[in-house]
Structure 1
Amino acid sequence: MEAKKSLFDNLQNFFGFDNFKGEQEEIITNILAGNDTFVIMPTGGGKSMCYQLPALMSEGTAIVISPLIALMKNQVDQLRAFGGTDSIAHFLNSSLTKADAARVKEDVLAGKTKLLYVAPESLTKQENVEFLRLNKVSFVAVDEAHCISEWGHDFRPEYRKIRQVISNIGENIPIIALTATATPKVQHDIQKNLQMNNATVFKSSFNRSNLFYEVRAKRNVLKEIIKFVKHNQGKSGIIYCLSRKKVEEVAEALSLNGVKALPYHAGLDAKVRADTQDKFLMEDVDVIVATIAFGMGIDKPDVRYVIHHDMPKSMEGYYQETGRAGRDGGEGVCVAFYSEKDIDKLQKFMKDKPVSEREIGTQILKEVIDYAESSACRRKQILHYFGEDFNDTTCNRMCDNCATERQYFDAEEHLHRALTLIKGLGEKFDDHHILCVLMGTDDPQVHFYEHHLIKEFGSGKEQGEDLWKSLLRQAMLDNYLSKDIDQYGLLHITEKGNEFIDNPHSIRLIMNKPIEASDDEDAEDGKGATGALDTQLLQMLKDQRKKLAKAKGLPPFVIFQDPSLEEMCTHYPITLDELKQISGVGAGKAAKFGAPFIELIKKYVEENDIDRPVDMVIKSAANKSALKVYIIQNIDRHLDLEDIASSKGLSYEDILREVESIVNSGTKLNLNYYINEVIDEDKQDEVFDYFKTAEDDSIESAMCELGEEDYTREEVQLMRVKFMSELGN
């Protein structure tokens, strides 16, 4: 009783909490009793408290092994804030200077430090092992313990050496291993490697009921992300990308669109990463864009959304990364963009690895594909992966699949056929092989085993591949089948499956709606019409253009061309910034002619209660801009257009098109140096005067009027550029 009171007093005095969360009290009591302890608890469940409090209550220093420098710094700062003294917690890793490291060791030796955070790489250094031997170590906490297992999502070879190092530091040091993501296979691997098979295991439910899970087809992904973030303005979010290059690109696009976003990946300087993390925690930055490979390790409770620009390579990675949303129990939206191209990229990454590692990686990746492509409850799939059964009726429409209307099919006969086939083939094949047999696919492995000769070959062709894929996935989710990922994903019939074979009964399963990602997944610049044309507004804009043209003594096409007006009728820009994003407008024209147009559109939107598409405000740092900048710079240097074209491997026609595009978007170009060389003055005046009174800017009309035998198309085109540049910009 006294010990229990002391536990609660320490919880209250140090952390300011009145009650423990979940199994924290039992876990801490077990550690204080000197027992090995294995904690499997989802992100946000309060894992760090499980070793922080017993460390503060124990004699000596607790060593916390963590792979994330970011997380170490974050936790040390929090402990110092609670404890009121800097020496209470320290970290020892590669980010410290020699002087800093010496100061840390001094505090530890003086008995002032209760928790010492160490990176696995630092722990294995002989000098650190010798130093730690000089101290009383209360226990060792291995955080992110899934890193030990090659079946985990973040395998680190240094973690495999931890047991050996602990034995070198001292005898009978209790170990607490903690992870937020461990399948039964990974759990076994961790215990075996740390030689803690007799540890007390505490496993919490992996269900995060406040998180909404959604998978979207990868179309115009950058545009979709910016729309989502703008809809959630002011909320904290994390966006994960597969590559550093994509991280930089997404962060830049968000910044361009007025979002406070910063990139975060291993290629950045350690100080920059630390500053970025602090800005996120202090809410100077709303969005962090990070690589999947580089764990964030940021203990921020109010992250409101996590977006995966690319699917991660494992369900553990996905679960842990999505788990950073809504840790305070509040809103947490998890959106992942899926395309087969991403999966192809991940498979290419594995191609150079040893065969066994490649097999493991392939099985782990297959689970991600099944999750993304399935129409079953997302939550049920996640929890099943971690060895937990879940009744999808309690999902409460908290995933995209449960929130939408689904089509079911009577699966009794089909399930019986599939299970009987698997059993008949000796439970020695994976789902791909079974699918090939049922569909009658001409597959080399099917032929090798002569399964193209059995009566079941092609028997399921009529039902279609989607039905069988869906059936096999749900048969696993509902425990009629199990998958042996150790053995290349072979399917085995469970006890429940065998009962069904003997006594089939009526069963309804969900028909799969495959996710179809567009091939054009990187068509991200967000321009071009995206909705039906508003003809009423178009007429009003044309009238406005006519009015302005008359007042300025210009032809209407000089102000805005028809395609620009049409785009305004689908996007409804109501600020100059938004107007600049319309094709053929740009900053120059927006400033010169834009005000009456956005005023008109704003009034029209309000009067007609129009729900504007947010895509409008999306600005992109288009890759094409580099060529435009190059052309402008070289025209300023008075280079001939032919020379500019050949230096970029372009034709003269291509360069003219680019020059027109630059001018039509509102940038003034002085081409007189070139035009004076190729067109005589009288001709120039004649074409210029023609365009002043022309109905439209058509080159065909101009040549017809001016006489095709007197002018070449290029001459008229060049003069149109001069005319638009001088009068329109």
Structure 2
Amino acid sequence: METTLSHYFGYETFRPGQKEIISKIIDHRNVLGVLPTGGGKSICYQVPGLMLDGTTIVISPLISLMKDQVDQLNAAGINAAYLNSSMTQKQQKAVEQELLRGEVQFLYVAPERFDNGYFVNLLQQLTIPLVAFDEAHCISKWGHDFRPSYQEVIHKVFALPQDFAIVALTATATTEVQKDIMQRLNINKNDEIKTSTKRRNLVFKVNPTYQRQKFVLDYVKEHSDVAGIIYCSTRKQVEELHEAFQDQNIQSTIYHAGLSNKEREQAQNDFVYDRVRVVVATNAFGMGIDKSNVRYVIHYNMPGDLESYYQEAGRAGRDGLNSDCILLFSERDIGLHQYFISVSKADDDYKDKMGEKLTKMIQYTKTKKCLEATLVHYFEPNEKLEECQQCSNCVHENKTYDMTDEAKMIISCIARMKQQESYSVIIQVLRGETSDYIKYCDYDQLSTHGLMKDYTTSDLSHLIDELRFKGYLNEHDEILTCDASVKKLLNANAAVFTTPFKRKSKEKVSINTVEGVDKALFDELKSVRQQLSEQLEIAPVSIFSDYTLEEFAKRKPESKQDMIAIDGVGSYKLKHYCPKFLETIQSYKAQI
């Protein structure tokens, strides 16, 4: 397993969750993998697909996403292909013949391809060890990007005669969506692998500015040497912002559903191949991009739900380097999404669910709590929380109220209860309320009953949430328990601060930089990568990611042996790409 990873992809160890998912696939079990955006989901089916005989079928939602994946696999010396509507009959026939000869290791198709009887007949003749559902949240009606074709293809996949495993992969699935996917794909609860949604290289920021256009123009000018995506809610806003960039001589491209296929493809290629640094887009640009060195994603408008926001913001920093995710928010954004929901042709249950998601999105823009922890809590309510210390809420000096005494009262109350209880019961006891349940448990006899009677329910919810988000309290299925770290508080070795209620905040937004990199060498290596990209007609990041180039610029490897030890350098890339980079590094060192 590790040998395959190292040989083809240049990594010595797996990221969290990857090895567990691959092991289940090798054991011929259906599995659901929920990994963060940029967490290496594709490795989860690519490694077992290389280890098993036959052709792995990958069901993917977008033509552009298929092309990116196939280009990257081909760049690593792996035979992959796709079949989609953008191809000529001659091109499709050539791929079909390769499939019949057993030459294709990975075949990418959209779910609609299974409507073609000839294609299904072709599949029946192949050796298929694995079927992968990429972007699996599209399967669920409750997912943020539901596609009926993803549901309809499931029974056609199960009707194939081969005995294959199934893997479903997603980054943005709530607990409800995860259950739906597992039910539809016959995945056992024990075969779900989830890792934290945390991505510590992403710095989340909310900026309620009234001068959105000025903010974006200033930010892009300050970060002109890095790539970024700016999402707008409407085509009109995309066009207006693009014009503003042109007026300021800022080179950018646009992407929305109103453009022709050729125009959209040109825009994507210009961005992926580093011909332009900035793309202004609607969410039509969502899953269709796989560019690892995006240093910032700015949302010009608030999305309608946190799944969409996290999916789009997660396009930043997929190479693991520090990147900004900035949400510009205005109250007017709320009205737009309420209108979208009201005119939707969906049933009332679905509209209600979208309304609930919008409420959660609005709460994210207004919370004073850690933004990263807020996202983690939304996707996995039972996960232990901690403050990231880098989002706009964490770094803003607005937590001036010392709540250490209140924290001790709350912890003392929880510790005295005969069993683990929920938020509501704890608050009722602290406020001195009585109910049949409180009397039955003798909670009205506790010394902490009524200890905080002067606090409102809202006050206590705020204080308990603060302790939860700081990791002093843990939650599992809405039941609160004390974490071991509360001992520090009770022993007077720590203090807890929170925000005074209803205090407005403003934060200064800045991008983090990576230290220890020889910037001049890094720029030369990027130029080499660009030359190779144009020569080989593959995307720059398919050759080497920014992360790998930065490692080159830090370590200055002198031989292929030095290079193979760096993440992202596999055997194929070592042979075909590294000589030119080594030559550049040696020449650079000679001039110093």
TM-score, shorter chain, exceeding 0.5: yes
Q: Which runs of 5+ in 1 are unaligned?
A: 1-6, 428-458, 484-491, 498-504, 518-729
Q: Distance in 2 between matches of 1:493 and 1:385?
A: 13
Query: Larger C-alpha radius of gyration, 1 or 2?
Result: 1
CA distance in 2, matches of 1:38, 1:302: 27
Partner of 1:247: 238
Query: Is 1:60 aligned to 2:54, yes or no?
Result: yes
Q: Contact conserved, 1:375 with 1:511, CA < 8 A, in 2?
A: no
Q: Deviations over 1:486-525 (max 9, x none)?
A: xxxxxx963549xxxxxxx9986433446699xxxxxxxx
User: Post-superposition shift, 1:185?
Assistant: 1.8
CA contact (8 A) 1:66 1:119 kept: yes
Structure-2 separation of matches of 1:219 and 1:158: 40
Find 1:407's aligned residue among 391, 396, 400.
Answer: 400
What are the equivalent positions in structure 2 for 1:232-631 lying under 5 Å apart? 232-352=223-343, 353-387=346-380, 389-393=383-387, 395=388, 397-405=389-397, 406-408=399-401, 410=403, 419-420=427-428, 470=462, 494-496=479-481, 509-513=498-502
Amino acid across the alignment from 2:365? A
Q: For 1:220 and 1:469, locate their aligned partners in 2 and report how far apart those are by CA, in whole Å.
A: 33
Q: Are 2:48 and 1:40 aligned?
A: no
Instruction: Determine if contact 1:147/1:159 at 8 Å carries over to the other structure.
Output: yes
- The equivalent of 1:191 in structure 2 is 182
Distance 2:118 2:372 in 1: 47
**One-letter amino acid matched to 1:404:** H
- 1:94 corresponds to which of 74, 80, 85: 85
Counterpart contact for 1:380–1:390, Cα < 8 Å: no
Change (3 A) 1:20 1:507: closer
Deviation (angstroms), 1:239: 0.8
Could you say what secondary structure the match of 2:129 adopts?
strand
Q: Equivalents in 1 of 2:124, 2:14: separation in Å?
A: 33
Q: Is 2:130 the partner of 1:130?
A: no
**Residue 543 of structure 2: aligned partner:** none
How far apart, in 2, do the equivalents of 1:470 and 1:25 lie?
A: 39
CA contact (8 A) 2:25 2:48 kept: yes
Summarize the Cα distance change of 1:130–1:256 in structure 2 as closer, same or farther, 3 Å threshold. farther
Conserved? CA contact 2:427–2:460, under 8 Å = no
Q: In structure 2, the residue corresponding to 1:137 is in which secondary structure?
A: coil
In 2, Cα distance between equivalents of 1:386 and 1:338: 22
SS in 1 for 2:69: helix
SS in 1 for 2:159: helix
SS in 2 for 1:401: helix
Matched, 1:168 2:181: no
Distance 1:407 1:247 in 2: 40
- Structure 1 Cα separation of the partners of residues 353 and 424 of structure 2: 30
**Alpha-carbon distance change, 49 to 424 in structure 1, aligned in 2, over 3 angstroms:** farther
In 1, Cα distance between equivalents of 2:253 and 2:384 = 37
Q: Decide whether the 8 Å contact of 2:17 with 2:35 is kept in 1.
A: no
CA distance in 1, matches of 2:131, 2:340: 35
Judging changes above 3 Å, is the alpha-carbon distance between structure 1 residues 516 and 162 closer, same or farther for their aligned structure 2 residues? farther
Check conservation: 1:37, 1:177, Cα contact below 8 A. Answer: yes
Cα distance between partner residues in 2 of 1:367 and 1:247: 25
Q: What's the Cα RMSD here?
A: 3.3
The answer to whether the Cα contact below 8 Å between 2:136 and 2:168 also exists between their aligned partners in 1 is: yes
The size of the alignment, in residue pairs, is 459
Whole-angstrom distance in 1 between the partners of 2:504 and 2:303: 17
Assess, with a 3 A threshold, how the Cα gap between structure 1 residues 310 and 481 changes in structure 2: closer, same or farther.
farther
**1:313–1:151 Cα change, 3 Å:** same
Q: Deviations over 1:89-126 (max 9, x none)?
A: 11122222333222222221221111111112223443
Give the match for residue 144 of structure 1: 135
CA distance in 1, matches of 2:144, 2:434: 34
Q: Distance in 1 between matches of 2:503 and 2:146?
A: 31
State how far apart, in whole Å, the 2-side matches of 1:151 and 1:508 are. 37
Q: Do the aligned residues in 2 keep the contact of 1:380 with 1:389 (CA within 8 Å)? A: no
Q: For residue 265 of structure 2, what is the amino acid of its counterpart?
A: A
Compared CA separation, residues 142 and 257, structure 1 to 2 (3 A): same
Aligned to 1:190, the other structure's residue is in SS state helix
Aligned mates of 2:234, 2:6 — CA distance in 1: 44
1:32, CA displacement in angstroms?
A: 2.4
Q: Secondary structure at the match of 2:254?
A: strand
Q: Is the 8 A contact 2:385 2:474 kept in 1?
A: no
Aligned to 2:571: none
- Structure 2 letter corresponding to 1:355: D
- 1:587 equivalent in structure 2: none
Counterpart Cα distance in 2 of 1:120 and 1:514: 49
In terms of fraction of residues, the more helix-rich structure is: 1
**AA paired with 1:71?**
L
The CA distance in 2 between the partners of 1:253 and 1:386, in whole Å, is 36
Deviations 1:49-102 (A, max 9, x none): 111122122222111011122211011111112127xxx211122222333222
What is the SS of the residue equivalent to 1:245?
helix
Q: Could you tell me how far apart the structure 2 residues matched to 1:235 and 1:426 are?
A: 62
* In 2, Cα distance between equivalents of 1:111 and 1:320: 35
1:235–1:286 CA contact under 8 A, matched in 2: yes
TM-score using structure 1 length: 0.58
Measured in 1, the distance between the counterparts of 2:236 and 2:189 equals: 46
User: 1:179 offset after TM fit, Å?
Assistant: 0.7
**Aligned counterpart, 1:682:** none
- Give the TM-score of the pair, scaled to structure 2: 0.70
Letter matched to residue 310 of structure 2:
Y
| CA distance in 1: counterparts of 2:369 and 2:255, whole angstroms | 34
* 1:419 match: secondary structure: helix
Change (3 A) 1:296 1:177: closer
Q: Could you tell me which residue of structure 1 aligns to residue 193 of structure 2?
A: 202
Q: Is the 8 A contact 1:148 1:190 kept in 2?
A: yes
CA distance in 2: counterparts of 1:82 and 1:195, whole angstroms: 33
Secondary structure of 2:103's aligned partner: coil
Sort the Cα spacing of 1:407 and 1:35 in 2 relative to 1 into closer, same or farther, 3 A.
same
Shift in Å, 1:286: 0.2
What pairs up with 1:657-676 in 2 under 5 angstroms? none
CA distance in 2, matches of 1:344, 1:307: 20
Change (3 A) 1:168 1:223: same
User: RCO higher in 1 or 2 (8 Å CA, sep ≥ 6)?
Assistant: 2
Asked if the contact 1:38/1:199 (under 8 Å) is kept, the reply is no
* Aligned 8 A contact 2:30 2:191 in 1: yes
* Partners of 1:162 and 1:194 within 8 A in 2: no
The gaps in structure 2 that reach 5 residues or longer are 411-422, 438-452, 483-489, 507-592
In structure 2, C-alpha distance between the alignment counterparts of 1:277 and 1:471, rounded to whole Å: 46
Query: CA offset at residue 468 of structure 1?
Result: 7.7
Counterpart contact for 2:33–2:170, Cα < 8 Å:
yes
1:255 deviates by 2.9
Distance 1:120 1:252 in 2: 37
> 1:162 Cα deviation (Å)?
3.0
- Label 1:516 to 1:339 Cα distance change in 2 as closer, same or farther (>3 A): farther
